[in-house]
Amino acid sequence: MSPSPQQSTDVPTDELRSSLDGELITPQDGAYHEARRVFFKGIDRRPLAVARVAGSEDVARVVTAARETGLELAVRSGGHSRAGYGTSDGGLVIDLSGLNAIEIDTAGESAWVGTGANAGQYTVATGEHGRVTGFGDAGSVGVGGITLAGGLGFLSRKNGLTIDDLLSAEVVTADGDVLQVSEVSAPDLFWAIRGGESNFGVATRLQLRLHEISEIVGGMLILPATAETITGFLEAADAAPEDLSTIANIMIAPPMPFVPKAAHGKPVIMALMAYVGPAVQAEGVLAPFRALAEPLADMLRPMRYPELYEGPEPEPQLATGANFFADSLSPDAAAGILEWLPKSTAPMRAVQLRVLGGAVAHTANDATAFGHRDRGMLINISAMYMDPAETETHDAWVESVAAAVGRDGAGGYVGFLGDEDEETVGAAYPNGIWERLRELKRRYDPDNLFRLNHNVPPAEG
Ligand SMILES: Cc1cc2nc3c(=O)[nH]c(=O)nc-3n(C[C@H](O)[C@H](O)[C@H](O)COP(=O)(O)OP(=O)(O)OC[C@H]3O[C@@H](n4cnc5c(N)ncnc54)[C@H](O)[C@@H]3O)c2cc1C
């Protein structure tokens, strides 16, 4: 949903500042330019003020100020929203980055994390106890945003989505109430926030289940990409034990030191893999992938789980993309990816293939607001680029790839969506989930205060 015009400019920022335990940063402050930035640096918005909140009471104060003034309200954990929903032109931003405490219970069965922490920080902290919770493939993503979207990553087939490990959450609602939300205390709201993103309130703390995992066999395997190796990879990933999760990026090989020179500029499968189990058994599990073709680089090895998040991450200005669920990928669709990859001028572009199944499918499709558990894979097409003038070109490329790969219009994963129309967002919540979310939105946020997101409009009537 695009930023909407402000309804009021009469905002007592001094009053709001003095009511906060945290900071309120306005354009006059030296920290303003840093405070208004998000992960995609090409998103250049100028909020009226950024509140670096110190706790849930601060969040409630800013929520109340936004409600009373009609100002647009942005909520930011890690700031990775491709649409830039973590910032605003002229509105108020709740910046949760200061709420980054991680408390691990003594028995090591769960952890409370402030939603200002990112996945990497959380994983390093819990990893010291030989425990983990699965997030996505990038350590810099905020635990707030990824958890409320669903959370697909290195442990999806082993343990399910991040929301499957969510035990409870502290949520500030549109009324400014601070609620403890769990299956027991508020089952409807707990259902909605597990996939319904920021539509229902601001999550300030999350209680997540920990799994006793310290060593895995994982890392990166790079194979030459042909239609046969791509479909072969997906078949092997589907047939593998649930202890193995894979994320296969079909891309043009960058000139990186670990990629042989002869492969630079050629299509490759750059696969990130995580096998939870003994190294001796990993050999057999990984053999079908290694047998697809002579690997261009084989960096799979026993490692501590948090090592998966080590290493540099891209720092793109802007990104575009399209994603959708599918049950299989035909050889023609794989050939379509290979045909289209070289046609993009984006410095980074990839078609990411994530085979699902395993623990993702152990939970019923309607048990949470993430309703795609019965699908075989997620296909995520993305292009990252630097120059805003190129947006149309890259958007067109993404659409061409989606058509070549056989997108059927049946929705996608909200975590990877950009700024979309209502029809696209609605399709991401299939089989009655959209209608149920709209009913709950009417109950918890009837005036759509939380609208700078993949918006679920309140049900009418
Ligand atoms: C490089 C990169 C890699 C990614 N990899 C994966 C992956 O492997 N798996 C996966 O599932 N997703 C992945 N994502 C998608 C990511 O999970 C979503 O973009 C997520 O919303 C980002 O969360 P954030 O807190 O960093 O972003 P933000 O921009 O801060 O927030 C994103 C959205 O969530 C809302 N939000 C954030 N925190 C809260 C909160 N505490 N309470 C209420 N609403 C909140 C915001 O208002 C906004 O609408 C990736 C994204 C990027 C850019």
Dump pLDDT digits (tens) for 240-276: 999 999 999 999 999 989 999 999 999 999 999 999 9
Query: Do the Cβ atoms of 201 and 215 come closer than 8 Å?
Result: no
Burial class of residue 63, CB neighbours in 10 A (0-12, 13-18, 19+):
buried
Does the Cβ of 148 fall within 6 Å of ligand 1? yes
Does the Cβ of 202 fall within 6 Å of ligand 1? yes
Does the Cβ of 197 fall within 6 Å of ligand 1? yes
How much is the pLDDT for 290?
98
Tokens encoding 77: 């954990």
pLDDT at 7 over 90: no
pLDDT at 6 over 70: no
Instruction: Measure 215 CA to ligand 1 centroid, in angstroms.
Output: 27
Nearest-angstrom CA–CA distance, 143 and 100: 10
Kindly report, residue by residue over 379-399, the tens digit of the pLDDT: 999 999 999 999 999 999 999
Nearest alpha carbon to residue 166 among 429, 358, 368: 368
How do 377-385 and 318-326 pair as beta strands?
A: antiparallel
- Give, in order, the Cα–Cα distances in Å from 2 to each of 8, 386, 452: 18, 21, 7
Q: What is the mean pLDDT of the chain?
A: 95
Instruction: Measure 198 CA to ligand 1 centroid, in angstroms.
Output: 10
Query: Do the Cβ atoms of 459 and 441 come closer than 8 Å?
Result: yes
Mean pLDDT of 404-431: 93
Q: Whose CA is nearest to atom 31 of ligand 1?
A: 145
pLDDT at 214 over 90: no
Give the number of other Cβ atoms within 10 Å of residue 373's Cβ: 22
Query: Do the Cβ atoms of 337 and 422 come closer than 8 Å?
Result: no
Does the Cβ of 170 fall within 6 Å of ligand 1? no
* Chain centroid to CA 12: 34
Nearest-angstrom CA–CA distance, 298 and 173: 48
Kindly report, residue by residue over 103-116, the tens digit of the pLDDT: 999 787 999 999 99
Nearest-angstrom CA–CA distance, 363 and 165: 12
Indicate the top mutation candidate among 76, 199, 323 to test ligand 1's pocket, ranked by most ligand atoms within 8 A of CB.
76
**Side chain identity at residue 420, one-letter code:** E
Query: Do the Cβ atoms of 201 and 173 come closer than 8 Å?
Result: yes
**Side chain identity at residue 376, one-letter code:** G
How much is the pLDDT for 117?
98
Does the Cβ of 59 fall within 6 Å of ligand 1? no
- Residue 431, Ramachandran bin (φ over 0: left; ψ between -120 and 50: alpha; else beta): left
Does the Cβ of 176 fall within 6 Å of ligand 1? no
Q: Whose CA is nearest to atom 53 of ligand 1?
A: 80
Which range is least confidently modeled, 5-9, 252-256, 280-284, 318-322?
A: 5-9
Nearest-angstrom CA–CA distance, 376 and 326: 6
How much is the pLDDT for 12?
78
Mean pLDDT of 368-384: 97
Instruction: Measure 419 CA to ligand 1 centroid, in angstroms.
Output: 13
How much is the pLDDT for 378?
98
Does the Cβ of 97 fall within 6 Å of ligand 1? no
Nearest-angstrom CA–CA distance, 391 and 101: 38
Does the Cβ of 229 fall within 6 Å of ligand 1? no
Kindly report, residue by residue over 22-74, the tens digit of the pLDDT: 999 999 999 999 999 999 999 999 999 999 999 999 999 999 999 999 999 99
Does the Cβ of 153 fall within 6 Å of ligand 1? yes
How much is the pLDDT for 107?
84
Q: Which atom of ligand 1 is nearest to the CA of 140?
A: 26
Mean pLDDT of 182-209: 98
Instruction: Measure 10 CA to ligand 1 centroid, in angstroms.
Output: 31
Nearest alpha carbon to residue 454 among 86, 198, 211, 177: 198
3 pLDDT tier (thresholds 50, 70, 90): very low
Nearest-angstrom CA–CA distance, 80 and 416: 10
Does the Cβ of 165 fall within 6 Å of ligand 1? no
**Side chain identity at residue 179, one-letter code:** L
How much is the pLDDT for 215?
86
How much is the pLDDT for 299?
97
What predicted TM-score, i.e. pTM, was given to this entire model? 0.96
Does the Cβ of 142 fall within 6 Å of ligand 1? yes
Instruction: Measure 367 CA to ligand 1 centroid, in angstroms.
Output: 21
How much is the pLDDT for 192?
98
Instruction: Measure 81 CA to ligand 1 centroid, in angstroms.
Output: 5
Mean pLDDT of 339-357: 97
Number of H helices, E strands in the chain: 13, 19
Q: Tell me if residue 52 falls in helix, strand or coil.
A: strand
Q: Tell me if residue 332 falls in helix, strand or coil.
A: helix
Instruction: Measure 152 CA to ligand 1 centroid, in angstroms.
Output: 11
